[in-house]
Amino acid sequence: MKIHLFRDWCQDVLELGVRELKLIFKDGGVLLIFFVAGLVYPLLYNVVYLNGILEDTPIAVVDKADCSVSRRYIREMDATREVQVAYKCTDMQEARSLMEERKVNGIVYFPSDFGDKLAHRKTATLSLYCDMSSFLYYKNSLIAANRVMLSEMNTIQKERYAADGYSEQDAMSLVQAIPYEENNPYNASFSYSIFLLAAILLVIIQQTMFYGMTLLAGTLREQKRSFANLPDYMYTNGVMRTVVGRGWAYWLIYMGIGMYIAYIVPAIFGMPLRGDFFDVLMLLLLFVTDCIYFGMTWSALINKRETVFVLFLFLSPICLFLTGTSWPTSAFPPFWKLFSYIFPTTFGCQAYVNMSSAGGDLSAAETQMVGLAIQTVFYFITACLAVYLENRHIKKTAA
Partner 1 sequence: MGSWKNIGAVIKRELRLHGRRPVYILGSLGVLSFCAVFFLTFFGSGLPHDVPIGVVDNDNSSVSRMFIRNIDATQLGKTIRFDTFQEARLAMQRGEITSICVIPKGLYSDVGSFRRPTFTYYLNGMYFLGGSLAYKDILLMINMANGAAQRKILRLKGVNENEIMGRIRPLEIDTHQIGNAYTSYNYYISNMMLPGILEMTIVILLIYSLGGELKYGSSRKRLRMAGGSIVNVLLGKTAVYTMLFGTLGISLILVLYGWAHFPLAGSIWNMIPAVLLLVLASEGVGIFIISCLPVPRLALSIGALYSVLAISFAGFTLPVEAMHPAIRGLAQAFPLRHYFLIYSQEVVLGTGFAGWWQEALHLLAFVFLPLPLLIRLKRAFIYQNYPKD
Instruction: Using the minimum distance from each CB to partner 1, give the nearer residue, 90 or 173.
Output: 173
Evaluate whether 99 touches 60 at the Cβ level (below 8 Å).
yes
Q: How far is the CB of 69 from partner 1 (least distance, A)?
A: 8
For residues 198 and 275, what is the distance between their CA atoms, to the nearest angstrom? 12
Site string for partner 1, 93-122 (x = CB under 8 A): ------xx-x--------------xx-xxx
Evaluate whether 246 touches 229 at the Cβ level (below 8 Å).
no
Contact region with partner 1 (CB under 8 A), list: 9-17, 258-266, 280-288, 306-314: 306-314
Instruction: Using the minimum distance from each CB to partner 1, give the nearer residue, 227 or 251.
Output: 227
Could you tell me how far CA 77 lies from the centroid of its own chain? 31
Stretch 322-361 residues interacting with partner 1 (CB under 8 A): 324-333, 335-336, 350, 353-354, 357-360
Contact region with partner 1 (CB under 8 A), list: 32-40, 241-249, 255-263, 387-395: 32-40
Collapsed DSSP state (helix, strand, coil) of residue 13? helix
Instruction: Please list the residues that pair with 109 across neighbouring strands.
Output: 62, 127
Instruction: Using the minimum distance from each CB to partner 1, give the nearer residue, 123 or 236.
Output: 123
Count of chain residues binding partner 1 (CB under 8 A): 119
For residues 178 and 79, what is the distance between their CA atoms, to the nearest angstrom? 26
Evaluate whether 287 touches 301 at the Cβ level (below 8 Å).
no
Q: How far is the CB of 184 from partner 1 (least distance, A)?
A: 5
Residues 6+ apart with CB under 8 A from 385: none
Contact with partner 1 (CB under 8 A) among 188, 338, 370, 389: 188
Instruction: Using the minimum distance from each CB to partner 1, give the nearer residue, 5 or 178.
Output: 178
Contact region with partner 1 (CB under 8 A), list: 1-9, 123-131, 237-245, 376-384: 123-131
Q: What is the DSSP string of 47-86?
A: HHTSS-----EEEEEEESS--HHHHHHHHHHHHSSSEEEE
Contact with partner 1 (CB under 8 A) among 22, 26, 170, 278: 170
Regarding beta strands 83-89 and 106-110, do their DSSP bridges make them parallel or antiparallel, or are they unpaired?
Answer: unpaired
For residues 30 and 24, what is the distance between their CA atoms, to the nearest angstrom? 6
Site string for partner 1, 241-280 (x = CB under 8 A): ----------------------------------------
Contact with partner 1 (CB under 8 A) among 25, 35, 87, 192: 192
Q: How far is the CB of 249 from partner 1 (least distance, A)?
A: 20
Stretch 202-241 residues interacting with partner 1 (CB under 8 A): 211, 215, 219, 222
Q: Computed from CA positions of residues 353, 356, 362, 364, in that sequence, does the dihedral angle turn out positive or negative? A: negative
Q: How far is the CB of 190 from partner 1 (least distance, A)?
A: 5
Phi, psi angle pair for 129, to nearest 5° = -115, 125
Evaluate whether 52 touches 27 at the Cβ level (below 8 Å).
no
Total residue length of the chain: 399
For residues 72 and 115, what is the distance between their CA atoms, to the nearest angstrom? 12
Evaluate whether 203 touches 346 at the Cβ level (below 8 Å).
no
Contact with partner 1 (CB under 8 A) among 42, 104, 129, 369: 129
52 is a site residue for partner 1 (CB under 8 A):
yes
Instruction: Using the minimum distance from each CB to partner 1, give the nearer residue, 94 or 131.
Output: 131
Contact with partner 1 (CB under 8 A) among 34, 45, 227, 294: 45
The region, left, alpha or beta by phi > 0 then psi within -120 to 50, assigned to residue 242 is: alpha
Instruction: Using the minimum distance from each CB to partner 1, give the nearer residue, 187 or 382.
Output: 187
Site string for partner 1, 58-97 (x = CB under 8 A): ----------------------------------------
Could you tell me how far CA 149 lies from the centroid of its own chain? 33
Stretch 357-396 residues interacting with partner 1 (CB under 8 A): 357-360, 363-367
Instruction: Using the minimum distance from each CB to partner 1, give the nearer residue, 244 or 300.
Output: 300
165 is a site residue for partner 1 (CB under 8 A):
no
